[in-house]
Amino acid sequence: MTHELSPADLAQRLESLESRLAHQEHWLDTLDQAVVQQERRLEKLEQLSGLMRERLREQHQALQSNETQGGQRPEDELPPHY
């Protein structure tokens, strides 16, 4: 049993498909923009992470240098009320 669609039915189906396609294209554009924003945020976070690692490395080296020169570590110092 074959069911042929009338020209009006075909036009309706075509219009429905075009509408769905336009909707999908809109969402693809939206997702693409979101991916671009996420990439930018990731790059900034990676830069911040690198700066934090460098700062920690510098602090660690300063503490080691202070210890080798006979200085006290901050945790070894007595609070002012002692």
- What pLDDT does 80 receive? 73
What is the arithmetic mean of pLDDT over 29-56? 98
72 — pLDDT class (breaks 50, 70, 90): low
- What pLDDT does 67 receive? 81
Mean pLDDT of the chain: 89
Give, rounded to a whole angstrom, the gap between the first and last alpha carbons of the chain: 99
68 — pLDDT class (breaks 50, 70, 90): confident
Look-up of token digits 């509408």: 19
**Global confidence as pTM:** 0.57
58 contacts 66 by C-beta, under 8 angstroms? no
